[in-house]
Every structure is written in structure tokens, then in C-alpha cells.
Chains A and B, each alone.
Chain A
């Protein structure tokens, strides 16, 4: 096998965090999550090396270097010109066969794994240096032709005006190769949010799962009342299930990246959208993520209709829990001299046990 540095593409599960100079940070981070046992949507990364080879083999690198010299002094105007030039060249070029074949061969494998022809994927930029929000990500890309076109668009997005200016201010060179991630789009039968604590009272022994049909937007934006499952973090037993109304769901419009709302059939509204084993698995993954990062987390997940359980549970996004984690924790139980005093106190106050 060719060494990683000279490959055009690498599967997520073949890499780890240290590989960020080869595939970019976002991609490498996914590899790291998989290594930790956190399930993410399957896919592969197109390497920074592939981007570089694309520029060389297509002659764009020479062309740009030649023309850059003629642009003269750097101004906002000339940056705009340079951007238009580079983006035009990249988007207009033909993908060199060695690179294109490699990408498409992996794409076919991905389609096969998902059991979906022309499997919808995302095309996500992934730089080796953090440059938040400056490069593009494209969702719901289907089929070979679009895939290749959008990979080029993604590469080209490193040359938008903001990105060029940002690099110039940092004294970085004009040419900038990035990695691209090609994860399968999660065909979300259900999406939701996991809190690895009880968000109501901060109880760290619970995991709370909110879930509803379709894409996560419905839950995140408060469009629907989702199901809420409260799970015991230690035993992973479901303690409480509250069925939400779940009247509508968000889905992608066919072959497009914009989202539309659809009604949820009445009989599906009244039943839990996750099965008992799915709830348990989602909670297990939430606990794993908390253990991995060493603090309470707020996690977005999807349940992919194209995969059987348990491979259908997919983690979409993770971030540290921000409310309870910042609060000072106070003792919940009153001080007592000894166990006898506790028992006495108990007998005197009585019990109102929750049912």
C-alpha cells in the first residue's frame, strides 16, 4: 500500500488525530472519534496531497504562479481578480484521471456499504490550519459527476476573497491546499440531542435524549415537541419516557440541499420514535463521548435509515455542556452525625417517593 502521505484518499477509519497535516483537521478529528469508538457517518477524506497533485497535473499551479506575477501590488481589487482567476481555473479544470478514479472507486464502495446507488454525500472542506467558516461545505451531493464538480468547488473555495486576505494577513502563501471530507449524508429517520446530564436539574447520573423524526433541525429549532427519554447513566436503563407530539419533520428536498417540512403520520406521532434498544445505544454512545472528553457533553445524533441497528446510530456534532458544568455543586443531603441520626430523620419526616 502506498504510504499515507502519497495517497489521494483515505477512509475515516484508517486515520487518527495525528494525520491532520495529511487530511486536514476536521477529517482527522473524525478519524480520532472513530478510534475512540464514537460512531460517525462512514466516508473518506481526499488528501491535501490530492489537492496539490490536482493543481500540478492540471497545470493550474504553473498557470497561477505565472499570472500572480502580473497582478502587481496587492490591493482589494487585485485580490478579487486573483480569486476569480484561481476559482475559475480550478472549477473549469478536468479532474486528472488518477485522482478522479481513486475518488470514484471509494465513492462506489461507500454507495455499496450503504446499499444506496448514487448515495448522497456531503463535501466538506477540511484545512490543516483552522480558518473558521472561510471555506465551503456542500450537502446532499449525489452521483459521480456532481461529486467531482463539488470537490473542485470545495478546493476552489480556498481562494475566495476572505480566505486569500486572511492568509495574506498571516503572511501565508497564496496557494493553499486543503483536505476534503466525503461522509455519507445521514438518511435521518430520527434525529436528536443527547445531554450527558439531566439538563433539568444537572443530575450527572442521568442521560437525557430528545428525539424526533427527520432531520435534527426540527428538534434544534424547537419546531416540534420531541420524545424525551431519561436514561440511568450507570445501568443504561430507561427511567422515564415522555412521548412528544412530533407533528412535523424536516427532510431534504430531493436532490437538493434545502430543507422542507412534512407532516408525520398520526400513528407514528403517538409512539416513541426510537426503539428501546436504540435509546440504550444512543445513551451508551453519549456516555462514551463524555468519558472520552472527560466532561458533560451536548451531542447531536441521527439514526440512519440505510443501516441496520446498531450501525444506524450516527454522531453528528459534539460540544461541551455549558450550563451545569459551570455551576458550583452543593451537597444535596443534610449533614448528620451518624447513620442512626439519618434513619431517625427519615422516620420523622416520612417519605414521599416518586412513582
Chain B
């Protein structure tokens, strides 16, 4: 590949955002002070992590990026000693995160790591189920601990118990400590996240390549069907809503729920009836943990959970009640899925002609099926359950800051502070409380946050180039391929894209998500709250989807997302419903408007705008 992308050091600063670098950690900047580091930066391929970050980063939300930066890399490089791979390096430009896989160029070094890897990774593969069982206990214990952390206002005077019990510490000290605890829990959560994931993907990539050798061009969607579980925890929240909808019909409170439009209103009405009360009790049971499902990917604080806004699950319950009463099939057709999975595997087995190939196929399938429950289920524990509670805890600190005049709005402002800056501001607040003076925060933060909000808006208008730096001959890092869909071919496609120039763009290239071609009117939805607008047969265009979007999938004719690879939620669900889907288009929600007539080809990944809405 002769052509290269723009050098990362040459990306211009957007006018009016000068000084933006202070919104993010210093080590995330591309820099030129050290020639060695500069040379490294210039010679790597940096691709924009649109999968996780369709929008620019809020300074606080970058915490999760730091957390996985550390966790993924260390498991490759220092724990499992993956022979040819170190970690994935991170940078930020104009609010957007770029990442690059780092390899080990010295073959001797790679060779030395082989026996280490075999011992270490081998232990995990051999004891997978036991270790995964332990993992679930660790993570749920951590979540319980997280639930217990709270951030109350500081008192005018400490309670007498501080004296009588000889506690020896103040609420101010507690506040500072709890914030540290919270951050540490977040980091630990992400340490756990990657405990199995690298090895899981390595096994899956091996199976993908083995089957591609036996059956050249076998679609990724077919392979996912072969290994995917049926009882996946991510589908549980929607299953709970269906259970509640069915229960509502059974006990005769369905009309009552249908009549209301807000959760509060429905709950007040239900509380007046005995059967309504019972139903509410059932819902309370379902809420923990299932309503901690995020309405997005869980990566941004704006991705609230059902528990944060009960109107969302209530809207879905209403949709389910309507569908059930119309006699429609709701939920996942699990029996059909099991049958279909078994049929696909059986038919492929029969097509294998030699014993060696058969052995490779069976081994690959068995290992993939061992690792897949983790690959599928960890999302709920980490990105949804843990994150949703975590965001709510930060909002509690936001409330303290708002009351103290550090920020103007508890819900929207704290995210413009870095995690270290929140710690500093808490010190400011606590020491001023202790001393009985006015803190500096109220005269410092509102102005700074207003400026950062302005910068953030400018970042939003900027389109991050898909890649920077020098493309390698072959992309090898398993995450890079499976999750981000970055391959040598994709890189050359991106290079081509740069030549066409701007103007009215009527075709958008993404990745195939689910097979088939469909034409229809687009419905661009920014978030799950807008689901009610969706009409039968429309093509859903969204940044990303999560299982909380499930009711949409019985209505739509197909889906297009900005972010995601063949393993993302939208692709998996659409394959189950047989809906043509294109994922990872990068910009579909920007280029397509509601009402546009579009055609999507789930086999080639091409989206075409046929006719603009009037």
C-alpha cells in the first residue's frame, strides 16, 4: 500500500478551540518534543474508534477509555504474553479517540513469548467455565459495593456519633475517599472486563479463519449463528418487559397501562388497584438488575438506563401489550433459533470432505462455544449494569457541585471536568467547608465549563478522518479485526474515500451486518425515547442500538448504524429477525434524513439514498 493517511501531527486545530488539549490527559496528545515518540506516532496506523465513540469525548467520560486502554493492553502484553502483540495505544484529536495496535517486530522476542503464552492462556482455556463462574461472583460483588457508595451533602456540624464512636474522621475526608473508591471500582471493573475477552476473541478469530480456509468466503453472520448462545443475558431485559406485558394482560390491567403515557401516571393509577399493586411489585423485582440496561452502549453518560427514566420501559411495555393483543409473535423466537443453529452446523459438517478439516472445524467450534457466553454476556455486567450505576453516582457528585455553585447544572456540567479535576474540585470544596471560607470553584468552573461546552459543540461539527498515519501491509491484531472491522481492504477503501471530495453524498459504505437487500423510508432516531415515532416497515437509522431497542425490531424493514462491526448488537439482533442490516457506516445519521427513500444491501454493506425527502 503506497499511499498513506494524513500525518497525525498535521491535523489542524479547529478555529476557536485553541487550548482544547487541557480537556484531556496530556499523554493522549500527539506531540513533537521527543523525536522517538514523534517517529513512532508518524509511522503507526491510527484509526478513529467510531465503534465506541460516535461523538466527541466529554472530558470525564474519557475515564472508560483510559480504563480499557490499560486493561486490554496489559492482558496482551504482560499477563498472557500474546506472542506477537503488545497493546493498543490511544490518542485524542479534536475530541475524537484514535487507536493503534502495537506489535512486536523482533521474531526472537515473539518466539520467547510462545511457551509463556501456551502456559498462561492454556490455563484459562482449560479452566474457562470455572474461572468464568468466579468472574461472575467477583463482578456482582463489585457492583454491590458500587451500589453502596453514596455522596451526601457535607453537614454544618458532624453527627455526635463521630465523637461517641471515636470515628476519628470527618465527612469531608469520607467524601474525598469515596470518590477515590468510586474511581478505583471503575478501573477494577475494566480490569475484569478484559480478563477473558482477548482470549475469547483469539479463539473466535481462529475459528473464523479455519472455516474460511475450508469454505472460502463463509459470511461472518453464518459463523456467529453457529457459535452464538440462545440464552444470552443481554436479551433478558426485553424478555422481562414481555413477561410484564403478558402479566398485565393476564391480570386485566393492560388497558389501564395503555391509557397512560408517562410512567409516573401509570404507576399512580396501578397503585390504586390490588392487581396493579402486585404487578408493580413484579416490576420492582425486574428492575434490579434488568432495568440497568443502557439505552445506548453505556460508554457515554448520556446513555441513560431504564432505571434512570422509567418512561422508556413503559413505552416498550405498551408496544408489547399491543403486539400481544394483535396476536403477533413478540420476543426472540428461541426454539426456531436453536433449530436453525443446529441445522446450519449440521449442514456445514456434512459439506466437509476430509478428516483433518473436520477435526479443525470441530475443535474451533467447540472452543468458540466455550468462550462465547463470556463474549456475549460481559457487556451486560460491565457496560450496562456497572456503568449505569456508576453514572448515577457521578450525578450525585454533580448535585453537590451544583449546590455549592461550582457548576450550574448537576446533570449536564460535571462531565466537562476530567476525573482528576473532579478530585481537585472536591478538595477545594472540602477544605473550604472545613475552613469555613468560600471555595475558588464557583468563580473558576462555570466559566471554564461554558468555554469547554463551546469547544465540544465545535468538535461535534468536525468529521474525524477514519484513519491517520501509515497503513500496515496486513492487519493482525484480533480486536482490530473482529470488533472494529479494520482490515487491509477496509483501509484501502478509506484511502479511496479521501479522494472523492465533498458534495452531495448519496452512497455510504459500511460493513455487512445482516444479509439481504431492502428499500424503504428512513427513520433517523437519535435515542431510544424516539422509538414511538417509528412506523411499520421503515428502515431504522441510528448511531447504535442496544437491547433496549428490542421492540423496534418487529416493526422495521432493516437497519443502518453509524458504529459497530459484525458482532455489534444491531447486527446480531437483525440476523435473528432476518432483517437486512448495514453497520459501521460512520455517518449514516448525518447523511440520511427521516423520510429519505433508501436502499440497504446487507451483503455488500452499501447504503444508497434513492430519493431525498421533500
Is the C-beta of A342 less than 8 angstroms from some C-beta in chain B? Answer: yes
10 inter-chain pairs at a CB distance below 8 angstroms, sorted by A residue, are: A205-B215, A234-B348, A239-B217, A331-B355, A332-B214, A343-B203, A343-B206, A347-B84, A353-B212, A355-B511
Whether B154 sits at the interface, judged by CB under 8 Å, is no
Looking at the complex, which of A47-55, A173-181, A196-204, A213-221 is the stretch in contact with chain B? A196-204
Residues in chain B near residue A230, CB distance under 8 A: 217
A1 CB-CB contact with B under 8 Å = no
**Residues 317-355 of A contacting B (Cβ, < 8 Å):** 329-333, 335-336, 338-340, 342-355
Contact B125 A203 (CB under 8 A): no
- Tell me the A262-318 residues at the B interface (CB within 8 Å): 276
Any B CB within 8 A of the CB of A99:
no
A330 touches B363 (CB 8 A): no
- Which residues in A have their C-beta under 8 angstroms from that of B225? 235
Among B166-183, those with CB < 8 Å from A are none
Query: B356 on the interface (CB 8 Å rule)?
Result: yes
Interface centre among A201, A230, A232, A347 (most CB of B within 10 A): A347
B208 at the binding interface (Cβ < 8 Å): yes
Q: Does B260 belong to the interface (CB within 8 Å)?
A: no
Total A-B contacts with CB atoms under 8 angstroms apart? 150
Q: Is the CB of A355 within 8 A of B219?
A: no
> Can you add 5 more A-B contacts, CB < 8 Å, to A338-B363, A342-B360, A350-B84?
A331-B354, A353-B487, A354-B487, A355-B489, A355-B490
Q: Of B85, B118, B356, B517, which is within 8 A of A331 by CB?
A: B356
CA distance A338 to B206 in the complex (A): 12
Residue A233 interfacial (CB < 8 Å): yes
Q: Are B351 and A205 in contact (CB under 8 A)?
A: yes
Question: Which one, A234, A238, A345, A348, contacts B515 given CB within 8 A?
Answer: A238
Q: Would you call A6 an interface residue if the criterion is a C-beta within 8 Å of the partner chain's C-beta atoms? A: no
A240 beta carbon closer than 8 Å to chain B:
yes
**Is there a chain A Cβ closer than 8 Å to B330's Cβ?**
no
Do B219 and A232 touch across chains, with their CB atoms under 8 A apart?
yes
Please provide the chain B residues from 578 to 614 with a CB less than 8 Å away from any CB of chain A in the complex. 601, 603-604
| Structural contact, A206 and B217, CB atoms closer than 8 A | yes
Is B2 part of the binding interface, using a Cβ–Cβ cutoff of 8 Å?
A: no
Within 8 Å by CB of B83, from A201, A232, A348, A354, lies A348
Which of B's residues lie within 8 Å of A, judged by CB? 82-85, 110, 114, 117-118, 121-122, 125, 202-203, 205-206, 208-210, 212-219, 221-222, 225, 343-344, 347-348, 351, 353-357, 360-361, 363-364, 366-367, 474-476, 478, 481, 487-490, 493, 511, 515-517, 601, 603-604
Given A343-B203, A353-B481, A237:B221 Cβ within 8 A: yes
Within 8 A of B (CB), among A219-253: 230, 232-235, 237-241
Contact, CB under 8 Å: B222 / A237 = yes
Contact A332–B84 (Cβ < 8 Å): no
Contact residues in B for A351 (Cβ distance below 8 Å): 205, 208-209, 474-476, 478, 481, 487
By a CB distance below 8 angstroms, the chain B residues around A235 are 219, 221-222, 225, 344, 515
CA of A43 to CA of B221 in the docked complex: distance in angstroms? 41
A350 touches B475 (CB 8 A): yes
Residues in chain B near residue A353, CB distance under 8 A: 208-209, 212, 481, 487
Judge whether A350 and B219 touch: CB under 8 Å: no
For B210, the closest partner residue in chain A by CB is: A333
| Distance in angstroms between the alpha carbons of A335 and B210 in the assembled complex | 11
Q: B218 and A237: CB pair below 8 A?
A: no
List A contacts of B354 (CB < 8 A). 329-332
- The answer on a CB contact under 8 Å between A340 and B121 is yes
A residues neighboring B (CB under 8 Å): 198, 201, 203-206, 230, 232-235, 237-241, 276, 329-333, 335-336, 338-340, 342-355
Task: Tell me if B114 and A344 are in contact (CB < 8 A).
Answer: yes
| Assembled-state Cα–Cα distance A342/B488 (Å) | 23
Structural contact, B478 and A205, CB atoms closer than 8 A: no
Name the contact of B218 in the complex, choosing from A205, A276, A343 (C-beta under 8 A).
Answer: A205
Question: Cβ of A347: which chain B residues have Cβ within 8 Å of it?
Answer: 82-85, 117, 202, 478
Residue of B nearest to A353 (CB): B487
- With beta carbons under 8 angstroms apart, the residue of B217, B366, B493 that contacts A339 is B366
A201 touches B357 (CB 8 A): no
Query: Are the C-beta atoms of B205 and A339 separated by less than 8 Å?
Result: no
Asked whether, in the complex, the Cβ of A340 is within 8 Å of the Cβ of B222, the reply is: no
Are A198 and B110 in contact, CB atoms less than 8 angstroms apart? no
B548 vs chain A, min Cβ distance (A)? 28
The CA of A301 and the CA of B506, in the complex, are separated in Å by 35
Asked if A343 contacts B202 (CB within 8 A), the reply is yes
CB within 8 A of A342: which of B85, B118, B210, B476?
A: B210
> Contacts of A237 on B, CB cut-off 8 Å?
219, 221-222, 515-516, 603
Residue from B202, B218, B490, B604 within 8 A of A232 (CB atoms):
B218
Asked if A204 contacts B219 (CB within 8 A), the reply is no
Top 8 A-B residue pairs of the complex, sorted by shortest distance between their CB atoms: A350-B476, A331-B356, A237-B515, A333-B360, A355-B489, A329-B353, A346-B206, A205-B215
Looking at the assembled complex, report how far the CB atom of B69 sits from the nearest CB atom of chain A, in whole angstroms: 21
Contacts of A336 in B (CB 8 A): 360
When chains A and B are docked, how far (Å) is the Cα of A233 from the Cα of B347?
9
Q: How far is the CA of A230 from the CA of B603 in the complex (A)?
A: 11
Chain B, Cβ-Cβ closest to A229: B603
Is the pair B363, A346 in contact by a Cβ cutoff of 8 Å? no
For the complex formed, measure the closest distance between the CB of A274 and the CB atoms of chain B, giving whole angstroms. Answer: 11
Q: How far is the CA of A238 from the CA of B85 in the complex (A)?
A: 35
Inter-chain contact A238/B487, CB cutoff 8 Å: no
* Highest count of chain A CB atoms <10 Å: which of B212, B215, B354: B215
Instruction: List residues of chain B with CB within 8 A of the CB of A333.
Output: 210, 213-214, 356-357, 360-361
A241–B221 alpha-carbon span in the complex (Å): 17
Residues of chain A within 8 A of B367, CB atoms compared: 339, 343
Q: A339-B366, A340-B118, A352-B487 are in contact. Are A234 and B347 (CB under 8 A)?
A: yes
Identify which of A331, A343, A352 gathers the most chain B CB atoms within 10 Å of its CB: A343
Q: How far is the CA of A200 from the CA of B255 in the complex (A)?
A: 60
Cα separation A238 to B114 with both chains bound (whole Å): 40
Bound Cα distance from A346 to B204, whole angstroms = 10
- Shortest C-beta distance, A342 to chain B (Å), equals 5
Q: What is the CA–CA distance of A58 and B489 in the complex, to the nearest angstrom?
A: 75
Report the Cα distance A239→B353, complex, angstroms.
Answer: 22
Cross-chain contact B487 with A332 (CB below 8 angstroms): no
CA–CA, A331 and B357, complex, Å: 6
Q: Return chain A residues, CB-CB under 8 Å to B83.
A: 344, 347-348
Q: Are B209 and A354 in contact (CB under 8 A)?
A: no
A238 CA to B604 CA, complexed, in Å: 10
**Contacts A347-B85, A355-B489 given: A342-B364 contact, CB under 8 Å?**
yes
Residues of B within 8 A of A346 (CB): 202, 205-206, 209
Q: In the bound complex, do residue B363 and residue A332 qualify as a contact, i.e. CB atoms below 8 Å apart?
A: no
Query: In the complex, A340→B119 CA distance in Å?
Result: 10
Q: Give A287 Cβ to nearest chain B Cβ, in Å.
A: 10
